[in-house]
Chains A and B, each alone.
Chain A
Amino acid sequence: MTRVWLVQILAVIRLEVKKTFFAKRGLWIYLLAFMPLALFVAHAIVLGHQNKDRDRIASESARPLTYQDLTSVTREMSREEITQRLGKPPISYAWDERREDTPGSSRLVICESYRYSDGANDLYIRLEDGKVVGTTLGQHESLGENTVVFAGVFQFFYLRLAIFFGCLGIFMNLFRGELLDKNLHFYFLAPIRRDVLMFAKYLSGLLAATVIFMTSEALQFIALCWSLDSNVRNAYLYHGHGFAHLAAYLGITALACVGYGSLFLAAGLWVRNPIIPAAVILIWEAMNPFLPTVLQKISVIYYLKSLCPVEIPASPDTPAIFAMLISNPEPIAAPIAIFGVILVSFAILVVSSRRVRRMEINYTTE
């Protein structure tokens, strides 16, 4: 019997995967999935240009500068003192400004802007009448900052919105879409157990969702690494947690597809309008940190949050609601979190299989 089921499951997957991957109405899922990738690629390109610019400026300096050289410039320093310390500025601008000191009397101020770089950081100096009136140190983005930004995009956009709505689009259509297309009877007239059919459809949805979202996630990570300095990148990947972070993000993505997939497959069996379950589940997931511990466990995000490899630090300025969202006062151990998502999904699928067995084909009411 198991062998027949396997052949049947493969037959369903073969039929479904083509529909899921190449459906015109699923184009928005690709857009949603690859939106952060576009963000990280754009960031990497901009950063690449900035780095080249810094390197060029550093190479044009009179002598190689250090970070200490750049921070040694203080207000009220004279033009001569600066050039003595840092050499002739590789980039400089000068212009005149007329200033009104007292009503009726004005004077001409000679303004200058110098830019130095040590190859990693930029120093912008503003001078008026030959004296430093202000400095800005543009520091190179650190690995820590980048990984926190990556974690933020993952947790707040990718996990809670992109994968959530992507799974909504993929899994709700597994049955609801077929009912709308008046095709479901094609499956129901075959000698396949309805619960086996449901499981096969779920697997095909899972395959599509994981391929789309894990590919995007992996590419986002590549874009992140691409934006890093080669030394930092090598240290991160080969001597730091780089690959462990990648594996964690991919694993969480797959688990999110497992969890949200089962939820939306079930929703598609009970509810005609996808907006209603989407809104209810979205609100439930968003409310999770504010719920009692027992209720928190009946959600997908509760388990996934604990698996995220990078914690997003909350500064004192962070609004309370965001601080609540990012806080994870009682993180769960990874095996429990993984088992939790799978258990919740399995329970939902068991309940759904009962529904599928009693499901009727009545296209006129759709």
Chain B
Amino acid sequence: MSGEITIENVSKFYGEVLGVNRVNLSIPPGITSLVGPNGAGKTTLMNLMTGLIQPTRGTIRILGHATDEPEKLFKLVGYSTQFDSFPKGLTGFQFIYLYLRLFGYEARTADELAWRAIERANLTDAAHRKVAAYSKGMRQRIRLAQSISHNPRVLILDEPLNGLDPLARAEMIAMFRSLAVDGCHVIISSHILHEVDIISDQVILLSNGYVVAEGQIQDVRNEIREHPAQILIRCSNQRQLASKLIESGLAIEVRTHEDGHGLLIKTGDADRFYLALNRLVQSGVDVESVLPADDDVNSVYEYLIGTEGAAV
């Protein structure tokens, strides 16, 4: 069985409306975030990966399985959708228990798995209340609980942190991390970029149905040549360092950081800049720390997609 999720030349059109176009991806285990403004194609891509919609062109294989074989696919995949609707009259426990019964699990196994998932989602106290009476955050958590209830190897989560309070967000992020550490593919769509930055091993940036970048965030940043890299240098003698950097000809722009305790440098060639900086340090210039200042998702997103839709 293949250990990857592969999307080959996939396009989806709703009549004449573009969903996604010519998407080619290979997603390894770990946390992968789909980032993009509304209408970028994040949910379409997730629905394609779970067979809720079929591609107009191209093929998708999830750990070697086609998406039109739900009987095989959903033993491996859990999907927490954005659809905020539930079968009527069910309690939180029944919602997950009956879902597990659809897997063919015996009553006892389904019961155990349901409780385990409910505990992981911190909903034990509310398990016997009707889902219809849940708050938005609780509904989000019960959906998450359902998606992890059968211990899937691929977890696809559409805006999973929406509606959650800060504590619950932290708990969920910790859970995603532990799943990723265990070798699970966790694919998350989000437009909250600082959270994506914290949790993602890799990102896929989407815009207007196209994948505009993919990979580890630093690699993506390095590939954006038209925007100079920003580097923050903490040092004791800012004036001396600034003049030496300008002399080297590698700094396009040098300015004092807004907190007054460092220099913010813009350079067109980050690799050569770091080599030059090493030489300066060896010659006795005092440098406390060097940090890339714009290799976060927010900067990459802004460079590639623009500020519109980027909620930070």
Contacts and interface: CB of A to CB of B under 8 A. Distances in A.
A5 B68 CA distance: 18
Chain B interface residue count: which class?
20 to 34
Most buried by A among B75, B81, B87: B87
Nearest to B75: A191
A23 to B, nearest CB: 8
Contact of A186 (B47, B87, B103, B106): B87
A361 B87 CA distance: 16
B87 A185 contact: no
Interface in A1-60: 3-5, 7-8, 10-12, 14-15, 18-19
A191 B81 contact: no
B70 A190 contact: yes
Given A19-B88, A186-B99, A189-B79, A362 B14 contact: yes
Interface in B215-251: none
A192 B88 contact: no
Contact of B53 (A3, A192, A360): A360
A181 B85 contact: yes
Contacts of A183: 85-87
Contacts, number: 82
Contacts of B85: 181-183
A188 B79 CA distance: 11
Interface in A334-366: 357-358, 360-363, 365
Contacts of B103: 8, 190-192
B87 A19 contact: yes
Contacts of A190: 70, 74, 99, 102-103
B72 interface: yes
A76 B292 CA distance: 124
A188 B106 CA distance: 20
Contacts of B79: 189
Interface in A181-208: 181-183, 185-194, 196
B56 to A, nearest CB: 11
18 contacts: A7-B105, A8-B102, A8-B103, A11-B101, A19-B88, A182-B85, A183-B87, A185-B52, A185-B83, A188-B52, A189-B79, A191-B72, A191-B73, A191-B102, A192-B102, A192-B104, A361-B47, A362-B53
Given A7-B101, A190-B102, A191-B102, 19 more contacts: A3-B104, A7-B105, A8-B101, A8-B104, A11-B101, A19-B89, A181-B88, A182-B85, A183-B86, A188-B70, A189-B79, A189-B81, A191-B71, A191-B103, A192-B71, A192-B103, A193-B70, A357-B68, A361-B47
